[in-house]
Amino acid sequence: MHQKNRKMLGEIHSKCKKCQYLAPKPYVVKVAVPRQDVLFNSEVIIDIMYIQGRSALHGVDKASHFQAANFLQDDSFECVWKAFMQIWTLTYLGAPNNLRHD
């Protein structure tokens, strides 16, 4: 398109009320700020999930949604506890105040 035609179309568009109304609105990023302080490690939710037949321990901090996971050797209590200690307790701020599981 020639520069002269582009300029003429731009002028028409800027004066046309319907064009202004139907033009796409500029994108605005919306950010949500938590209403209260985020208390990391206050409550952690853990679950054993299976990925391609291998069991994995998955932990999520409820307040911050931070996640950590590790594959398990087996589903025994000892193995799950060692994995939780490795991915969460010894790595971050110690044991959480509340630990939820299903």
Task: Dump pLDDT digits (tens) for 39-79.
Answer: 899 999 999 999 999 999 999 999 889 999 999 999 999 99
**Would you say residue 74 lies in a domain?**
yes
Strand order of the β-sheet with 54-61 is 67-71, 54-61, 43-51, 98-100
**Would you say residue 2 lies in a domain?**
no
Q: Strands 43-51, 98-100: parallel, antiparallel or unpaired by DSSP? A: parallel
**Would you say residue 67 lies in a domain?**
yes
Within 1-102, strands assigned E span 43-51, 54-61, 67-71, 98-100
Number of domains in the chain: 1
**Would you say residue 77 lies in a domain?**
yes
d(CA 51, CA 53): 5
pLDDT given at position 85 = 95
**Would you say residue 32 lies in a domain?**
no
**Would you say residue 64 lies in a domain?**
yes
Q: State which residues form the domain around 81.
A: 43-100
**Would you say residue 92 lies in a domain?**
yes
pLDDT given at position 1 = 64
Classify 25 as helix, strand or coil: coil
d(CA 22, CA 25): 9
Q: Strands 98-100, 54-61: parallel, antiparallel or unpaired by DSSP? A: unpaired
For the entire predicted model, the pTM comes to 0.64
**Would you say residue 79 lies in a domain?**
yes
Q: Phi, psi at residue 5, to the nearest 5°?
A: -65, -40
